[in-house]
Structure 1
Amino acid sequence: MDQASIDTISQQLEKRIAMKALALPMLPQVTTQVLSLVNDVNSDAAELAKLIQSDQALAGHVMRIANSAAYSPNAKMTSLQQAIARLGMQNMSEIAMAATMGPKMFNTKGYEELVKGIWISSLATAVWAREIARQGRRNVESTFLCGLLFQIGRPVVLQTVLDIAKDDDMDIEQEVVAQLMERYQAQVGSELADHWLLPSAVKDTILGIAGQGSGASADIVATVKAARTFAACTTADRQYDEAALSADATIVDINLYADDVQQLLEKSDSVHDTISELSL
């Protein structure tokens, strides 16, 4: 594809962004309700169980994951109330969010594997962010969600670019798609965060990862950056160089020391299992 064609697509993409004419996916209602319950200090396990049970497919998916070796290696659970009581509302809400979001929200024919790869990377970042937050006694709840959605703009950019190319009868190479996703994903992702009425920390993280400021969520942004470093190893060859990780700038920035990194790496098998279960 020549530069003129790339510029044409970029201009049309920028025009759609400016006019708020992007085809933004809807956040599933059950996901919105799960987020609302998790952020409500007065909510309880019975309310979460009732919500999940309102969707039979979701309930079955959540129970399968809750009973997996990653979450319940020693006992099997027969009800959502039992699962929530044993695993906690935070774990169950994470399972529900992962089950209702992901690649199926986007229409990217021919690029399904690319979108799936983005989602696996996001899951890996979210799970590692949760572990890092626990290790450093940080905000676990917000950090998982921010890790899960920090690059949610990428598949929206991809879908929009494919629509533009189709309308103009253009063939577009995958490397061009990757460049456009990298260039516009933060801008589009922040718009999607507003559209979905997500917590401000999510938008702060989307922009912060792109170097566009971290707002009031600097600690969460820093934690997600560190999680990306661990996730890169997870989604590549699962080879962790403890010394290199300890010296990485993203790790140093959040005051994780060699002992902390060692303790995190001791959880790597559990992290891998959790990512595998959530990705199905």
Structure 2
Amino acid sequence: MPNDTTKRYALEDDRILPTDELKKIIKLELSKWLSSDKDADLPMLPHIAAQAVVLMNNPQSSITEVAQLLEQDQVLAAQVIKLANSPFYRSIKDVTTLSRAILVIGLRSVLDLIFSISLQGKVFRHPRYSARMSALWRHSMGAAYICREIAKGINANVDIAFLFGLLHDIGKPLIIDTLTKLSQKNPDQISLKLIDDTLLDEILDEFHCSVGGLIARKWGFPDKLRMAIVYHHDPLADGKVHKGALVTGLADLFCHRFGIGVPPVDRDFSDHPWLQPLGIDFATYLALDEQLRDETQAFLEQFSF
């Protein structure tokens, strides 16, 4: 009787490929791709998301410009107006125009949402892994909200914090897309049918930070955002303090604690070594824990996953 490490899968033509061999092939292909310094296979930033980034980077951006961007996508515009009327924003009167919706939600927050929803439709989609992609998207949006709230609490840069959380796991859907392309290119060696959840999780965990760093570079994001993505699991790497990665890593921990897009982890991390460099003491941690649990769920309820 084979054990888990020697379990074998039959290919459609009845040849046998050991799990360990399949793992080696996949990791070798991904490593070659990462070391090639070629990013031609990485997706372009969606058009509307790219326009949102331009407006984010311009401190003189106006409500009129943001409204004009929304008018390019009526579905997106309707979502923003719906969100402005949701209990989360508690508008005093009904919101019926884009300009009013932008005032209620906030100009930067609307740009974050435009970027997020545009990205969801282009990147967080896969016919074979729809449930996984939905969970990844929920986790990313939850981390984005929590990053922004942590940044507010420690007087850090709030504007970019939302993107820290939103993009911290962006490597995962891109790896899944790359595996799909590899399986189409080399069907005799790599088949999605042979990649079970355990193997896929191992691959995603090992490579997602590096792939995320690649896409951040291709999309032209600032280095502090790329560093937050690359180091969010090890923000004290090399004895350095990567503050953006600390905020992102802490948001990721809260998401796991609250079960946002992942199974909940019943663990108190009030003594975690990432708190002190951010100036978060025990009382502040407890306040964040209480605030974020309900607020993040309320924020996520406004979206479809």
Q: Which residue of 2 aligns with 1:75?
A: 93
Alignment of 1:74-223 (within 5 A): 74-102=92-120, 104-106=122-124, 108-166=126-184, 167-169=186-188, 170=191, 171-211=194-234, 218-223=242-247
1:201–1:220 Cα contact (<8 Å) kept = yes
Moved more, 37-46 or 19-28: 19-28
2:296 & 2:266 partners in 1: Cα distance?
13
1:118 & 1:266 partners in 2: Cα distance?
23
Percent of aligned pairs sharing the same letter: 23
1:276 & 1:97 partners in 2: Cα distance?
18
* CA positional deviation for 1:89: 0.8
Q: Deviations over 1:181-217 (max 9, x none)?
A: 1111122111111111122222111111243859x98
Unaligned ranges ≥5, structure 2: 1-17
Unaligned ranges ≥5, structure 1: none
* CA positional deviation for 1:267: 4.6
* CA positional deviation for 1:233: 1.9
Moved more, 18-27 or 155-164: 18-27
2:216 & 2:304 partners in 1: Cα distance?
22
Select the structure of larger CA radius of gyration.
2
Alignment of 1:265-276 (within 5 A): 265-276=290-301
Residue identity matched to 1:13: L
* CA positional deviation for 1:87: 2.4
Q: Deviations over 1:5-40 (max 9, x none)?
A: 211122222223333266322211111111211221
Aligned pair count reads 278
**Structure 2 length normalisation: TM-score?**
0.82
* CA positional deviation for 1:108: 2.9
Tell me which protein shows more helix as a share of its residues.
1
Residue identity matched to 2:225: V
Q: Which residue of 2 aligns with 1:8?
A: 25
1:126–1:147 Cα contact (<8 Å) kept = yes
**Structure 1 length normalisation: TM-score?**
0.88
- CA RMSD in angstroms, aligned pairs only: 2.6
> Structure 1 residues 118 and 104 mapped into 2: Cα distance closer, same or farther (>3 Å)?
same
* CA positional deviation for 1:172: 1.7
Q: Quick one: higher RCO (CA 8 Å, sep 6+), 1 or 2?
A: 1
> Structure 1 residues 88 and 21 mapped into 2: Cα distance closer, same or farther (>3 Å)?
closer
Q: Which residue of 2 aligns with 1:246?
A: 270
Quick one: which of 43, 46, 64 aligns to 1:28? Answer: 46
Moved more, 82-91 or 131-140: 82-91
Structure 1 residue matching 2:275: 3-state secondary structure: helix
